[in-house]
Amino acid sequence: MRLADKTAVITGGAGGIGRAAARLFAEEGANVLITDLSEEALAAAIDDIGSNQVSYCVADVTNAADNDQMIAVAEQRYGAVDILLANAGIEGAVKPTLEYDEATFDRVMAVNVKGVWLGLKSVIPAMMRSGGGSVVITSSVAGLSGGPNVAPYSTSKHAVIGLMRSVAKEYAAMNIRVNTVNPSPVETRMMRSLEEGIAPGAGTAVHDRIVERIPMGRYAEPIDIARVMLFLASDDAGWITGSVYAADGGNSA
């Protein structure tokens, strides 16, 4: 029970990684508040997770008031906030840079970077009130190297590493730890979208080509990523802050 008596807020909680993390965190003793844009999707996630330790709150991470509200809801329901899993993210479009439209670029940056920044601004005061905490940010292997036709996504995932490193140094003395997890492709809706974007109508073939380049020979399952997040959220990682954790089956070796 590595998260006994702790409370976690998970953004993007209706998605594959968010659901897996919520289920695992609850199994490890945490009270969990999942947030996302769609109440219908959140309700479905709650049914799928099947734990009375997990509840939900509709929130848009690009909105400062929504970030403040989700932290306030967690404090009201559970007494404190010990963990923020800043997991909400979008892939944008698969297009060359010269063909990319400004509105989609802005949306990717708003969700993937501004959303994390606003989450930090909302949760850090709560963590200071309770004596510390752990923030785990979902980045990507696309935050460790570039990739053709996904420049905004890759840019956003590089950006949150810089954000993480700065905030980790600012608040380490207050026992607030901040780290990133950088997954390789995961068996989720996002990867289905990217595969189809790379080769419309041939997503399965794209999937197979990507698998061939992963040393461990498969995509990650959401639980593979959730287990790394659990470690970083727990006291087992009490001396770890400002670090980048590649969970990529050897992809970046």
pLDDT category at 253 given cuts 50, 70, 90 is: confident
> In the chain, what are the domains?
7-186+221-247 (3.40.50.720)
Percentage of the residues of the chain whose pLDDT score is greater than 70: 100
| Beta-carbon count within 10 A of 53 CB | 18
Region 142-167: mean pLDDT is 96
pLDDT band at 206 (very low <50, low <70, confident <90, very high): confident
Q: Report yes or no on whether pTM surpasses 0.75.
A: yes
| Catalytic member of 56, 78, 100, 153 | 153
Q: Give the pLDDT confidence score for residue 194 in this predicted structure.
A: 81
Question: Given a cut of 90, is residue 175 above it in pLDDT?
Answer: yes
How far apart are alpha carbons 16 and 49 in whole angstroms? Answer: 11
Distance CA 17, CA 128 (A): 27
- The Cβ of residue 59 has, within 10 Å, a number of other Cβ atoms equal to 27
Catalytic residue status for 100: no
pLDDT value of position 178? 98
Distances (CA, A) of 17 to 88, 131, 171, 226: 10, 28, 27, 7
The one-letter code for the residue type at 57 is C
CA dist 93 → 24, 115, 212 (Å): 31, 19, 24
What's the mean pLDDT in 189-209?
Answer: 86
Measured CA to CA, the distance from residue 200 to residue 155 in angstroms comes to 24
Indicate the SS3 state at residue 96.
coil
Query: Is the pLDDT at 193 greater than 90, yes or no?
Result: no
Name the average pLDDT for the chain: 95
pLDDT given at position 190: 83
Cα dihedral 228/206/151/158 (nearest 10): 10
Secondary structure of residue 234 in the 3-state scheme: coil
Alpha helices (H) along the chain: 16-27, 39-49, 64-78, 102-109, 115-130, 151-171, 189-198, 203-212, 222-233
**Residue 196 banded pLDDT, cuts 50, 70, 90:** confident
Q: For 20-43, write each residue's pLDDT tens digit.
A: 999 999 999 999 999 999 999 999
Instruction: Give residue 76's pLDDT band: very low, low, confident or very high (50, 70, 90).
Output: very high
